[in-house]
Structure 1
Amino acid sequence: MEFITPGIYSGTNRSSKVLREINNNNRISLSIKTKFNEINKLTTQFLTNELTVYSQQPVQAEDVSFQTLQKSFHDLYYLLNIEEFKFDKISTINIKKLQSIYDNLKDININLDLSVADNNDVSIINGTTLQLINYYMILTSTLNLSNSIILNTLQLKNDYFYWLSIKNSNVNKIIYTVQSLPFKIYGFSQSVFNHLEKLSTNNSLTILTTQGTEEDHDLYFNWIRVKQFSHRLYKAISKSIYSTFIINNPTVSLLNITTIRTNSFKYYTDLIKYIVKYPGNLINNDINQKLSFIKSQIDDQTDKIDQLIKTNLNDKESTLLTLESILSPGIPPSDNDIQRLNSILLNIIDFNTTINQQSNIPSVLARYWPVILIGLLYGPSQSFKLYSNRYEILNWIKFNIYDTTIGFFKNWVIKPVNEVLDTLRSDDSLSITTKESLKSDLDSLERMMLEFVQDNATTSTTDINPADIHNAIQNGDLTLVMNQYESQIRTPIKSLVKGNLIRSILIQIQKTKVDGGYAINGIDKILKSQQLVFGFVSLSPSLIILYQLYTYLTSSKPIFINGKQVNVICLKSLNNIENLLILLNQHHQDDEESANNYEGQLLIEIINLIVIADYIIPKPLKSDWIKDLNELNNNEFDIDIKLKLIGKIWNVYGAYFRS
């Protein structure tokens, strides 16, 4: 089920856009454009020189042929807007208007002998006018027909990829089976009805006369009717099954029990396998038939394009023969150019009507009936439930999506970024302990030790120097306290009673506290020195998530449209172009006159690549891309140069198709 496609369909705006691309980017239209410019110059020259002579030679009022010719030329002149000629507008001209203009000329009789060009004869002037009309009609018809065939071929290619995507995917096959099931059932029922109708017309109702009451006759008559109808219905169903399941499915030869022993074990196992695989085989056969049919149509259209490519537009008769062989093969041409061109215009109108009506892709109803049915069955009730629970749904969205997103950015993006910026501004906010905590503990230990030593000093001890105590504390030296502590533990009870032992222990505890402060202060300095690293570590998860999201949104990814990977289609088209150039090169080297359509295929592949690659090639490169592809249509380059140009295209644009 597709909503948008990289291809084109008739009657869509996309078709109009592609038609402009076709009109500007193929060998046929470029040759026609050159020829249009030549004819426009001749027309301008003719109008400025010869019409002056014509105006000086009055025409009789009853000369209806001349008046009709001049009116037709006037209408054609303004329809094509030759005075302000724009080639892009020619492809959009309604061919019916051209046919209506030309239809007025089919009964006129004008002398077309232009052997004496300098004679100022009105018949020669009108003959030139008719010849100009014919040239314009031939060029416009050829352009319209070539564009229609190319557009139709591109549509067929799009249909081909549609069915190919179904063939290569089991999921798509299941979807297609569901989509086509009602229509297949309807077709089978219609087949049964047709067979039943034929059997009813071929076999008349036969009733035997028997003795009995009137009720017995009615009962017997109705029983015979039911019996014969049941028999005909059985035959009709049998024939429909045979035509649907056997003729259209070659694998059904398994069911030919006349050539296989029905009592063999292998027969029944094969029969079970066939029954299990039959739905898949039926879908595969259906898809293969459609692919084969579309491919034959593409080949037929490509042959027509190849004929138009090889047509010499400078030769009017050759161009007319080509148009007639494409539009009405096998029908001998008329001797009158006006009638021939009028017939060609009518055939182009019929051709355009036919190709606009045909489509090998199932209709919108066939593709979307499951969605429509589900919408009709569950849409109203689910819509009512959604409306009734709208506040709960909004709260869920706010809590799980909106608040989560806002919290992520606040707590994991903005806050870590601010912390990193604070660190860069030398902010000391990150700290385990305060700056004055260690200093106060150290001063307290120094006072405690100084008082302890002074209280326990003897007369024989030298004077206590506070500076020595300070240096000892700074170096973590408690020798004076430990000496007293060692002597006190010899008499622990006595020292405990006096309190000196407890005092020594408390000083050592204070020393332990100071050592812990030093350790914490060291850790604090390490943390402060690595604070910037910690800030980036806390910020890195959110940055990784944002980077991955940005990469996913901005990086080039394979484009899938209608289940078709567009870059793969472009790669296949580029590969086909290179293969066709190689085949053309071999064909020219062998100097063989074969009926191949390589040039037509090449033209189609180039235009198809221009259309499809519009989804991939960046806008700044599109003009160069189209120019490089159009050079492959340039007749001034030989095949070797075109092959080198293919290498350039691969080198410059290949990265966009491989992503």
Structure 2
Amino acid sequence: MPTQQTRTLLSYAPKIPAFDGRAVSEHEAKLYGVWMKLNGSSADNVPTVDVLLDALEILERSPPSVVTSSQPYDESSELRDAILTKLVFGVYTHFSETLLNESIEAEAEAYWWTNIERNSWGCWCYFVQTLPLRLVRLGRKVAAIANEQNIHTFGDTFNRLAVPHVEIFNALFPSLKKRFIFPRSPLALIREECSEHHRKLQRIRDKRAEQLGCLTFLGANVRSRFETRATQPSNILWKDPKFLHDLQLIMAGDTSQAIETSDLSDTLTVLHQFLTQLLPRHVEAHHTSIRSYQRPPRWTRAWPKVFFGPPLFLLIFRSIYNNRSSIRVSLIDAKETIRGFWVQWVVEPVREILNTVRTGGESGPRVTSKEGLKSDMESLERMVISLATEKQNWSNEELKDLSQKIRQGDLTPVLEMYEDDIKKPLRSAVDIDFALEGIDKLLRSQELTFGFVGVAPSLTVLYVVGGWIRSLLGNGSRWRPGDKRRREVSLHLIRRIERLLLNAGMPIPPSESPSSDEPSSKQLPALTQGLLIVSLTHLRRYAESSLPRRSRLREGFLEDLSDLEESSFDKEEKFLIVQRMWRSWGQDLGWGCSVHR
């Protein structure tokens, strides 16, 4: 992924005029084909190494009359200069991408060792995974010592062989051989080994990041020259030997190999050597330096699973097969339990709530029914009227008035005559009915509340189980601000960027800077600038893969990252950009929430 610096430089590549249908020579047509190939070789407009080498080969085979700089500055010369400038930009871009990828690789390996060191289970797994290799190294060391002591029989090995403890320690823990800390627990030794690998990888990352920072400053100087230069051939980039010298100095790190060049043939040779010698040697040297501190190979980490996995799988399968009847019964019981929970504790209570809302609570069961209360009242009315007719000989008008009073609950006329005999058995029954009617109204008024209270526990269980299932299945490609892992990564990166800016030391002295221009007094050191680009690359990849597409959040976030990557901004300005990111995106990305580390 090209950095913002390389994208900007590529945008400054010269533009060539179209032929407009005029007659062109065969060589001009070939140069135009090279130019089109350089501009269309990849999606990022960055030519590949093979395309650059092909273009260099075509230019090297060009006739001297065409490739010499003494000829008039015509359209052919302009096309040639544009191709050479594009070639120089292409070489610079590949150097930058190589250093960036190497820094990211070293940082990823260091992060892997850090995770192993923090987890005791991870340390023990790593020890088991690498135990065969350690034993092989120990066996080779013992065999070498036996040869030195002229021990050639198996019996003499136990009687005469003397292996120093230091040699045993160095064979088992080669990365700790320079500091003998034996004896200690295996867990402590593994942690120390992980910490040592982490420190070595950080040094490699810092070295590559510092080279990347120097390249960034070199590109910033070239950019300023393109923005302020006059459009004359003497100001063409490929004719500047200082730029090529600084480029080689940064990648090779050896001033004795600096190449002084001023003509076109030397420039082509230098660019060809950069791509065929300097870049491959640098990549090979990096792989050699990092190989000893990388995580164990895939098969080394996988052999315990391959070795112990099949027997464990066979034992588990046999146990399941032998208990298949009980497992089947358990599954059926579990199915019925889930079905009963769903029907009796979710569906039915929800149905009752909906029915209560629809009917107003009049269709369900009651403490005492209206029909029962009405029957009791009619029975009481008949008994009282019969009593009044037999004892008092009341007229029809008086009986109608008594009947009306009874419907209203007034039994005073009868109770005055037969208070002791009739009060308790009849009035008590009516009072109980009226009391139950009051209780029934109270329960009816709270029936909806009782329904929600009854269904709340089952809905809570469903919510918890559903959330657990969603966490197991993941959330697909959808981005959530509350995603713990992504929030942790982005929070760690923005914190590291702010820490780099706060802890930035003094800038590189002009005598140590490979740039032809003196650095600004507020310019970041090369190491800080390189580490800043590494962190910004991680954040850019996070934004492009996780933030919602075509959203203001993503566009604004990427704009802030581009501002931070801009080398023309000083430390204070970049710190203000970081503060703006905290204010603008902190809430959306969950940076204000606590993250378990």
TM norm structure 2: 0.76
Greater displacement, 512-521 / 426-435: 426-435
Aligned to 1:443: 378
Structure 1 residue runs of 5 or longer lacking an equivalent are 1-21, 56-66, 206-223, 256-274, 487-503, 561-565
Aligned to 1:329: 253
| Distance in structure 1 (CA, Å) of the matches to 2:531 and 2:177 | 32
Amino acid at match of 2:253: P
Equivalent residues in 2 for 1:138-287 (5 A)? 138-197=88-147, 199=148, 203=150, 229-230=157-158, 233-235=161-163, 239-241=167-169, 244=172, 248=176, 277-287=184-194
**In structure 2, do the counterparts of structure 1 residues 247 and 398 end up closer, same or farther at CA, with 3 Å as the change threshold?**
closer
Three-state SS of the structure 1 residue aligned to 2:586 is helix
Q: Select the residue among 473, 477, 480 that pairs with 2:411.
A: 477
The answer to whether the 8 A contact 1:581-1:643 is kept is yes
Q: Report the CA distance between 1:546 and its aligned residue.
A: 4.6
Q: Report the CA distance between 1:630 and its aligned residue.
A: 0.9
Three-state SS of the structure 1 residue aligned to 2:185 is helix
Aligned to 1:270: none
Three-state SS of the structure 2 residue aligned to 1:88 is coil
Q: Report the CA distance between 1:298 and its aligned residue.
A: 0.6
Q: Does 1:654 align with 2:586?
A: yes
The answer to whether the 8 A contact 2:504-2:525 is kept is no
The answer to whether the 8 A contact 2:487-2:590 is kept is yes
The answer to whether the 8 A contact 1:581-1:639 is kept is yes
Q: Select the residue among 499, 508, 517 that pairs with 2:424.
A: 508
Q: Report the CA distance between 1:457 and its aligned residue.
A: 4.7
The answer to whether the 8 A contact 2:173-2:193 is kept is no
Structure (1 or 2) with the larger CA radius of gyration: 1
The answer to whether the 8 A contact 2:114-2:198 is kept is yes
Aligned to 1:567: 487
Amino acid at match of 2:455: L
Aligned to 1:214: none
The answer to whether the 8 A contact 2:522-2:571 is kept is no
Q: Select the residue among 17, 20, 30 that pairs with 2:7.
A: 30
| Distance in structure 2 (CA, Å) of the matches to 1:657 and 1:627 | 19
CA deviation map 1:164-197 (0-9, x unaligned): 1222232322332333323322332233233334
**In structure 2, do the counterparts of structure 1 residues 117 and 103 end up closer, same or farther at CA, with 3 Å as the change threshold?**
closer
The answer to whether the 8 A contact 2:138-2:168 is kept is yes
Q: Report the CA distance between 1:150 and its aligned residue.
A: 1.0
| Distance in structure 2 (CA, Å) of the matches to 1:471 and 1:537 | 43
| Distance in structure 1 (CA, Å) of the matches to 2:448 and 2:45 | 67
Q: Does 1:110 align with 2:64?
A: yes
Aligned to 2:512: none
Three-state SS of the structure 2 residue aligned to 1:310 is helix
**In structure 2, do the counterparts of structure 1 residues 361 and 246 end up closer, same or farther at CA, with 3 Å as the change threshold?**
closer
Q: Report the CA distance between 1:449 and its aligned residue.
A: 2.8
| Distance in structure 2 (CA, Å) of the matches to 1:520 and 1:594 | 86
| Distance in structure 2 (CA, Å) of the matches to 1:629 and 1:593 | 18
The answer to whether the 8 A contact 1:307-1:322 is kept is no
Q: RMSD between aligned alpha carbons?
A: 4.2
CA deviation map 1:323-362 (0-9, x unaligned): 3224433252455333322221113244456667966122
| Distance in structure 2 (CA, Å) of the matches to 1:114 and 1:51 | 23
Q: Report the CA distance between 1:48 and its aligned residue.
A: 6.8
Aligned to 1:266: none
Equivalent residues in 2 for 1:571-610 (5 A)? 571-582=491-502, 587=507, 591=521, 596-610=526-540
| Distance in structure 1 (CA, Å) of the matches to 2:577 and 2:191 | 40
The answer to whether the 8 A contact 1:323-1:344 is kept is no
TM norm structure 1: 0.70
Greater displacement, 295-304 / 280-289: 280-289
Amino acid at match of 1:559: K
**In structure 2, do the counterparts of structure 1 residues 510 and 592 end up closer, same or farther at CA, with 3 Å as the change threshold?**
closer
| Distance in structure 2 (CA, Å) of the matches to 1:240 and 1:520 | 91
The answer to whether the 8 A contact 2:504-2:528 is kept is yes
Q: Percent identity?
A: 20
Q: Report the CA distance between 1:368 and its aligned residue.
A: 2.6
CA deviation map 1:143-168 (0-9, x unaligned): 12211221221222222222112222
Amino acid at match of 2:11: T
| Distance in structure 1 (CA, Å) of the matches to 2:11 and 2:356 | 73
Aligned to 1:259: none
Aligned to 2:351: 418
Q: Report the CA distance between 1:453 and its aligned residue.
A: 4.3
CA deviation map 1:340-397 (0-9, x unaligned): 2222111324445666796612222222322222322222453465567678656644
Q: Report the CA distance between 1:437 and its aligned residue.
A: 1.0
Q: Does 1:348 align with 2:284?
A: no
Q: Select the residue among 288, 302, 306 that pairs with 2:209.
A: 302
Aligned to 1:16: none
Q: Does 1:293 align with 2:200?
A: yes
Amino acid at match of 1:569: V
The answer to whether the 8 A contact 2:506-2:524 is kept is no
Three-state SS of the structure 1 residue aligned to 2:565 is coil
Greater displacement, 352-361 / 337-346: 352-361
Aligned to 2:442: 526
Aligned to 2:556: 624
**In structure 2, do the counterparts of structure 1 residues 33 and 87 end up closer, same or farther at CA, with 3 Å as the change threshold?**
farther
Q: Report the CA distance between 1:571 and its aligned residue.
A: 1.9
Q: Report the CA distance between 1:629 and its aligned residue.
A: 0.9
**In structure 2, do the counterparts of structure 1 residues 540 and 191 end up closer, same or farther at CA, with 3 Å as the change threshold?**
same
**In structure 2, do the counterparts of structure 1 residues 297 and 464 end up closer, same or farther at CA, with 3 Å as the change threshold?**
same
**In structure 2, do the counterparts of structure 1 residues 645 and 333 end up closer, same or farther at CA, with 3 Å as the change threshold?**
closer
Q: Report the CA distance between 1:519 and its aligned residue.
A: 1.4
Q: Does 1:98 align with 2:52?
A: yes
CA deviation map 1:550-597 (0-9, x unaligned): 77758754534xxxxx43332232122223344569759993899642
Three-state SS of the structure 2 residue aligned to 1:425 is helix
The answer to whether the 8 A contact 2:547-2:554 is kept is yes
- The alignment covers a number of residue pairs equal to 540
**In structure 2, do the counterparts of structure 1 residues 245 and 70 end up closer, same or farther at CA, with 3 Å as the change threshold?**
same
